[in-house]
Chain A
Amino acid sequence: SQQGEEDPQALSIQEGENATMNCSYKTSINNLQWYRQNSGRGLVHLILIRSNEREKHSGRLRVTLDTSKKSSSLLITASRAADTASYFCATDVNSWGKLQFGAGTQVVVTP
């Protein structure tokens, strides 16, 4: 079964708007990561947040982690058409690199 569950499954916004997606997981983690996948391509790592961190920023990305609720959110600010992709959260339970991925949120940004 999947460890991470993303919400919403799909998101459609206009350029300049913010996009927020959420991830819930089931077991204790060492870290949680967000990846991006363009259609038919491999995944690209975006950001990693450790279990003892609550918030992290990278450019237009902001990630939060609430370990008490076993949830995380990814915010993309001032979205661009190039942000159109699927976004996946992945949890690292034992630091062996055996990440468990959710089903992803498909984001479409229209000009």
Chain B
Amino acid sequence: SQTIHQWPATLVQPVGSPLSLECTVEGTSNPNLYWYRQAAGRGLQLLFYSVGIGQISSEVPQNLSASRPQDRQFILSSKKLLLSDSGFYLCAQGGGSGGVFTDEKLFFGSGTQLSVL
């Protein structure tokens, strides 16, 4: 089974400060990875996905960026946080690897609650 590590669990940041959230996964090589954001009381919005090192696809225009410097590491960043960046950020791994999907379900990390004040 997949193990997904996310940290920190909670984060309070002032407006205009930078952000770096890290996600690392165990197990599968070249996993398909995703960043989702959940606003309070809402569903999840897909932000980025990656099928390999250096390969990032953005789903919505926003103040955030993502990088994949290593096979099992996925980082979400911002240079200057906005109030609207507050939310619950979830990293997920899909079955299969390298853009090939052998199992369509997603496995999620425990999330980071970000509050921008």
Report if B74 contacts A (CB, 8 A): no
Q: Is B106 a contact partner of A97 (Cβ separation < 8 A)?
A: yes
Q: For window 82-107 of chain A, which residues contact chain B by CB distance below 8 Å?
A: 88, 90, 92, 95-104
Question: Which residues from chain B sit less than 8 Å from chain A, CB to CB?
Answer: 4, 32, 34, 36, 41-46, 49, 59, 88, 90, 92, 94-95, 99, 101, 104-111, 113
Q: Is B46 a contact partner of A98 (Cβ separation < 8 A)?
A: yes
Complex Cα distance A104/B110, Å? 18
Q: Is A97 a contact partner of B104 (Cβ separation < 8 A)?
A: yes
Contact of A92 (CB < 8 Å), options: B44, B45, B90, B104: B104
Stretch of A14-22, A36-44, A59-67, A70-78 with 4 or more beta carbons under 8 angstroms from chain B: A36-44
Report chain A residues within 8 Å CB of B43.
Answer: 2, 4, 88, 101-104
Known contacts A48-B105, A97-B94: A42-B111 contact under CB 8 Å = yes
Question: Which residues from chain A sit less than 8 Å from chain B, CB to CB?
Answer: 2, 4, 30-31, 33, 40-45, 48, 88, 90, 92, 95-104
Report chain B residues within 8 Å CB of A98.
Answer: 34, 46, 49, 59
Q: Work out how many contacts link A and B, with CB atoms closer than 8 A.
A: 63
Q: Which of A95, A99, A102, A104 has the most CB of B within 10 A?
A: A99
Report chain A residues within 8 Å CB of B95.
Answer: 97
Kindly list the 10 A-B residue pairs having the minimum CB-CB distance in the complex, ordered from nearest: A97-B94, A42-B108, A101-B43, A101-B44, A45-B105, A103-B43, A43-B108, A42-B110, A102-B43, A42-B111
Interface secondary structure of B, over-half rule: strand
> A42-B4, A99-B44 provided; 12 other pairs, C-beta below 8 A?
A2-B43, A4-B43, A41-B111, A42-B90, A95-B101, A96-B99, A97-B104, A97-B106, A98-B59, A100-B46, A103-B42, A104-B42
Contact of B34 (CB < 8 Å), options: A30, A31, A45, A97: A97
Complex Cα distance A101/B41, Å? 12
Report chain B residues within 8 Å CB of A33.
Answer: 104-105
